[in-house]
Each structure stands twice: as structure tokens, then as C-alpha cells.
Amino acid sequence: MPIADIYALSDEALAAEVGQRIDQLRLEQNVTQEQLAQAVGITEKTYRRLVAGGGKFETLIAVLRALGRLELVETFIPRSTFSPLQLAKLKGKERQRASGKRPDSSAASGPPAGLDW
């Protein structure tokens, strides 16, 4: 599927697409839903929910592990590294959270119109 098509999918449709891909991995290894569910320690119903686009992230990881395809997690969300310049700026400061969007500095400061207190 081209990357442009992925962006066109809703979150639910993309989750279902990921589920279908996992089920394809299972089929390529000639493993039944029952065998895989037992290997992971879940019910077949839980597995079917996962491949339909539902389920827990932990279950997804357990299924990938059982299929011997855990490396796909690294491909899915690769580890992000700071550039040397960013590391130098952050030296001594370990980032704990994002700063969020800052208010627009061009907006008029002071109390809103009609408030005189």
C-alpha cells in the first residue's frame, strides 16, 4: 500500500489494516489462530479482535514475538536520537515532557476587553 493511501485511512481502518497484515504473517507461517492464541496465552476471540483492529498493544507485541517478527516494532517506531547539537544544548537537562504550543506573541497582551479589574 502506498504511503499516501495510509494517510487516507481512518484510525479504525488503519488498525484493521495492521491486523490483516499480522494475520497474513500467521498464515505465511502456517499457524492456526488456535495455535497462535495458545502460544501467546490469549483466547481465539481475543486474537480475532486484534486482527479486526481492536485489542491491546501488549497483545500485538506478544503476537509479533510468538511469530518471531518482533523486529517489526523497531521498524514501526524506530528509536529517535538527538543530533549532536541538540545533545550539547540539553547537556545536564533530561527532557521530561514536551513544552506544548506557546501562545502567539503577536496577540494583544493585557486583560480582555470589558474587564477592568
Domain of residue 10, CATH code? 1.10.260.40
Residue 104 in domain: no
Cell numbers describing residue 34: 488456535
pLDDT class of 90 with cuts at 50, 70, 90: confident
Give the structural domain span for 9: 3-76
51-55, 61-65, 73-77, 105-109: which has the minimum mean pLDDT? 105-109
Count the Cβ atoms, other than its own, within 10 Å of residue 55.
Answer: 19
8-28 per-position pLDDT tens digit: 999 999 999 999 999 999 999
Query: pLDDT at position 57, please?
Result: 93
Helices (H), 1-117: 3-8, 11-28, 33-40, 44-51, 57-66, 71-76, 84-90
pLDDT value for 113: 59
Lowest-confidence pick of 18-32, 43-57, 70-84, 97-111 = 97-111
Looking at the structure of the chain, the number of domains it has is 1
pTM of this structure: 0.66
Residue 84 lies in a domain: no
The answer to whether residue 71 sits within a structural domain is yes
